[in-house]
Structure 1
């Protein structure tokens, strides 16, 4: 039985509904505005993140063009004022009777102006052009700064372009990865371990204590282009297996992080919140993945990438030239890395209908991968990876237009699970 306290917490589906229904009022209160003026804000949700067991986070743009505002129901410590008396975020306490007569505990919603992310202190130095130029320009002028990815409270990736006019015009681009300061140090360590072993990872150019690490830009295009062109059949899958086999033994001594499929219960919960109409199908998938993994020989612990899929593999024609996103490098099982690729490949048609060779790609890669691990572990884990991607199909500001994409990812997970040998 769950603890009595757990029953008093706001269910996350109610947190999500409350945030979506009252964003304007929450933002106005969090920014110290008169709550009666919240209608003039007309916030537009541009980012939504649901971490099962942690809470809901969202990013909004404001109608008046004054920038972006973030809010979260995740647990944060009370804000501490800086030397000027300013606090990085405001915490609002919502009584439980707002949503249920039986009375949940109060819900704490933290509100901040972007880029003052409560858990990413380095985001301002990376996202404000003048500060990025001073910190990472090395005397060159900043010509362009764009946010490639941002997950509130978790991480951000920005691409910065620089130019120098003397003695002749030279241009370069770097990537700034913003993380919690302790995790940024771990990322840099992982990158250097892999680089020393000869793996094609981006060079670490700088690492700042506020959690920002700068990396050189690599050439090449994502493996996804090859998969779109011919299902990846012009690439020998053994090249990918060989890359993983080259990972140094020292990786096994790094902290362990659970594989995607090992957290299928959490991702299934997020999928049910996003697609309540498909709850039964998601239940069946969750049970199926867990049963497949329980029956499988998952293999020994080996060095793994942890997020091994097509977007993190750079190609020049059919030659592998780059390995990205090494945040999750550590001990794991070979089937988990190979399944990560298959799970992501399987959902590509739900992302872009031009991926018409996915069945051929799964057959092509799967035939080789099955020789390296138990097929039950491979396809069961791949289905778990696809489940983890269902809730991510939700696109803020699109009403229900994202639902077919989410259902497409769900169907992909079901097809992967059907490949598990009986």
Structure 2
């Protein structure tokens, strides 16, 4: 008996081309409209996410203001009806011969009405003001609810502000993190573990079975503000190393996740999809990162943050007061944690031209970080982080803006690789 043939998925650049070319038809079919009238929808793409190795996801705003529609080429199971009998999402089967070479399987596109995200069951409650007030207000009135970040199928972050009238009118803000329920459980575990070790992480205020966790808002401003002002030279980088040194040994018992640079092949693929005209340079970067890490002493496994960069470090002037986003805390290598910061710092000018002290920042932080790890591991890994950020510059409908930004990130990654000792 012949064994079943493995599915041959469309190349992701073809998935992206198909989504962009047929968005109106997919949105119309996915929400039950007659596809012959799809042009009247004129959906506007407001978010695009390319997750290398998984697929393409996008979010669209409808022309009539009736909401947002999400769609993805990532593999999802056939939807099961909710308690009210409705399907949480629709799956459209697109014959492979339409736009893909002969021999590819049909493409399946899943479509949903936001906020009924197929993998984030808690989002539908957290994103609706009336339901968020009941679930997290503790009797206070919700005055504002905004989405800070949303990555379809992955996570969402919302900021909720509540007003308290007794004994006097005051306001407080909390952050709602919406994740897959199993990952939310892990996040809460990590947060409590680090808080118990004295690290300045936000307090967990509530945790629900649907994958929503509420955290107290911390005071302080992102380290990026200091870097914009003086390249971060008023902060002793040894304080960042000391913060990582406080990570408890129990972190080593958590699951290990590959560093950004360990997945450089996937991120390089996404970068080539975003910037096909720079494919050769991206190939060279990918090879350079691999060669640097192959030649380096990457050090032992130690407790790591996993996403250690300026946006997750809060400052009160030049004093560290907060550590955010502990989702990726686990065993890793110190060089990769420090390289994460260097890689993000290097691309800041491509995000905002007001960052004019980046070379000073890289010299300032790098000179201290090199004392505790192999410079080849540090700068090679930092270049890998830079590669991971190239495709993220893509902004729907703003090609004239995001292509130069993506090229700026590519150039920053090349400059990081040039710092690897020969």
Alignment of 1:151 with 2:154, yes or no, is: no
Cα drift, residue 40 of structure 1 = 1.0
Q: Give the gaps of 5 or more residues in structure 2.
A: none
Question: SS state of the match for residue 267, structure 1?
Answer: helix
Alignment of 1:58 with 2:80, yes or no, is: no
Cα drift, residue 5 of structure 1 = 5.7
What TM-score results when the alignment is normalised by the length of structure 2? 0.98
Q: Which deviates the most, 395-404 or 347-356?
A: 395-404
Deviations 1:166-194 (A, max 9, x none): 22112100000000000000000000000
In the other structure, the counterpart of 1:137 is: 137
Cα drift, residue 247 of structure 1 = 0.5
Cα drift, residue 4 of structure 1 = 11
In the other structure, the counterpart of 2:169 is: 169
Alignment of 1:88 with 2:88, yes or no, is: yes
Contact persistence 1:176–1:213 (CA under 8 A): yes
Cα drift, residue 48 of structure 1 = 0.6
Contact persistence 2:7–2:105 (CA under 8 A): no
Contact persistence 2:120–2:211 (CA under 8 A): yes
Q: 1:150 to 1:214 in 2, by over 3 A?
A: same
Alignment of 1:76 with 2:68, yes or no, is: no
Q: Which deviates the most, 172-181 or 78-87?
A: 78-87
- Cα distance in 1, alignment partners of residues 347 and 212 from structure 2: 31
- Cα distance in 1, alignment partners of residues 100 and 349 from structure 2: 40
- Cα distance in 1, alignment partners of residues 307 and 67 from structure 2: 32
- Cα distance in 2, alignment partners of residues 209 and 284 from structure 1: 46
- Cα distance in 1, alignment partners of residues 357 and 25 from structure 2: 47
Alignment of 1:298 with 2:298, yes or no, is: yes
In the other structure, the counterpart of 2:254 is: 254
Cα drift, residue 100 of structure 1 = 3.4
In the other structure, the counterpart of 1:359 is: 359
Q: Within 5 Å, which residues of 2 pair with 1:182-261?
A: 182-261=182-261
- Cα distance in 2, alignment partners of residues 8 and 120 from structure 1: 27
- Cα distance in 1, alignment partners of residues 294 and 343 from structure 2: 19
- Cα distance in 1, alignment partners of residues 84 and 161 from structure 2: 33
Alignment of 1:264 with 2:264, yes or no, is: yes
Q: Which deviates the most, 195-204 or 77-86?
A: 77-86
Contact persistence 2:62–2:68 (CA under 8 A): yes
Deviations 1:226-263 (A, max 9, x none): 00000000000000000000110000110110000000
In the other structure, the counterpart of 1:116 is: 116
Question: SS state of the match for residue 247, structure 1?
Answer: coil
Cα drift, residue 83 of structure 1 = 2.3
- Cα distance in 1, alignment partners of residues 381 and 46 from structure 2: 31
Alignment of 1:180 with 2:157, yes or no, is: no
Q: Within 5 Å, which residues of 2 pair with 1:28-67?
A: 28-67=28-67
Contact persistence 1:95–1:104 (CA under 8 A): no
What TM-score results when the alignment is normalised by the length of structure 1? 0.98
